Amino acid sequence: MNTESRRGFHTDGITEEGQACLDVIFSRRSYRGKYRPDPVPREHLDAILRAGLSAPSGCNRQTVSLIAVDDPTLLARIRAVIDPPAGETAPAVICVLSRRIIAYRDRCFATQDYAAAIENMLLAITALGYRSCWYEGHITDTDRICDRIAGILDVPEGTELVCVLPVGIAEEEARLPKKKPFAERAWYNGFGGGTERSRMRVAQMLQKYHNHDSRLPYYELILEGKLTDLPVMPLPAGYRFENYRDGDREAWIRIERSAKEFSSWDEGEEAWRKYYEGHEEELKKRMFFVVNEQGQKAATATAFYDIRSADDGVNGMLHWVAVCAEEQGKGLSKPLILKALHTMKDSGYTRAVIPTQTTTWLACKVYLDLGFRPVPRNAERSRKGWELIRSLTWHPALVEFAGAEEKGPDTEGTLL
């Protein structure tokens, strides 16, 4: 069994040495604070350099070389070119050098080689009781601090200085970095934690399952998101869009009933009165129908706003998306939803709220795929509903609703 706490990670059956190795791995972290002035003994620097050189390299090309700097005069010259300062109080610095040697054909693994060497050294540094930080972005940026350090150290042309690692005893506590939960980044047997079977099941259901799954308990689900980066998706051949026209109320109720949004005609009429009566002129720009080759209205959606509050022109609401029963599984819903969302965006709205429910979980997957996410208050109130959607879709955006058996050993944020 694995157990994990903020102080360490333990796995059953491990040797003491193995545990010590894991302890080092889990206690390494980037340190950007002040260092004590105590020098780092040469034996320690030597051990760190050897750890770096013992790292794997692509085709064993050994593209990495290293320079440890502990001479105070040289250190001062290096510090003078690192602007803004980084690791400036460290009594030693290791400079990582890389040569872009071809491993085979046109493949060069120089970057992977030095990354492996750096991690080995960071672990050795940690094992010896020191702290460090991988400074690469800072020194290889457009101001090319790395080239100036290389100049100070007589690094020949063709060899690039790619990273510096300060080494020393930390004067302060190292900050805990925020890491994403285990279950968001690591899985068994497939991306997102879904087994092949469950992914296939979703794919099959997306193709042929009735859009309204009445076997599921009902929970109201509300998603929200920005109206940016929306893809464009044409309707399948033979279908076209039509805007609402006077007299389309009956067609709307018929489609919504067929999609099981209402159990009776009266219910449909009541919903129309509540949402749209008196707004018919607006609907001509906001309500859409998908029409089939025979001229029959097959699906509908409305780019509206929250009727409980005034239209602020910023927050749109997607209303009453429905595809009638005999037209389901034909790829109409995604183009229809996108048509409504694009219309909203083109009318100046920047965000959209999308109310839906567990019984139409396939539509919910479409919204999640488009980047919409549960509204936090609804995620709390309808947690069970969202858990259901996660278990049906294995959608990676819903990882926080994963069931206990799916979560794996660590779900609580940082490792150490």
Ligand X SMILES: Cc1cc2nc3c(=O)[nH]c(=O)nc-3n(C[C@H](O)[C@H](O)[C@H](O)COP(=O)(O)O)c2cc1C
Binding site for ligand X (CB under 6 A): 29-30, 32, 133-138, 177
Q: How far is the CB of 119 from ligand X (least distance, A)?
A: 8
Number of other CB atoms surrounding residue 6 within 10 Å: 10
Q: How far is the CB of 25 from ligand X (least distance, A)?
A: 11
Nearer to ligand X, 137 or 278 (CB): 137
Sign of the Cα torsion 80, 83, 85, 87 reads negative
Nearer to ligand X, 134 or 275 (CB): 134
The C-alpha angle 11, 15, 16, rounded to 5 degrees, equals 100
Strand pairing report for 297-304 and 287-291: antiparallel
Q: How far is the CB of 44 from ligand X (least distance, A)?
A: 21
Strand partners, 66: 96
Nearer to ligand X, 132 or 300 (CB): 132
Q: How far is the CB of 70 from ligand X (least distance, A)?
A: 22
Nearer to ligand X, 39 or 181 (CB): 181
65 closest CA partner among 57, 53, 75: 53
246 closest CA partner among 281, 270, 271: 281
Number of other CB atoms surrounding residue 155 within 10 Å: 18
Q: How far is the CB of 81 from ligand X (least distance, A)?
A: 15
Between the CA of residue 136 and those of 3, 31, 160, what are the distances in Å? 33, 14, 12
Q: How far is the CB of 135 from ligand X (least distance, A)?
A: 5
Strand pairing report for 64-69 and 160-167: unpaired
Nearer to ligand X, 111 or 243 (CB): 111
Nearer to ligand X, 148 or 201 (CB): 148
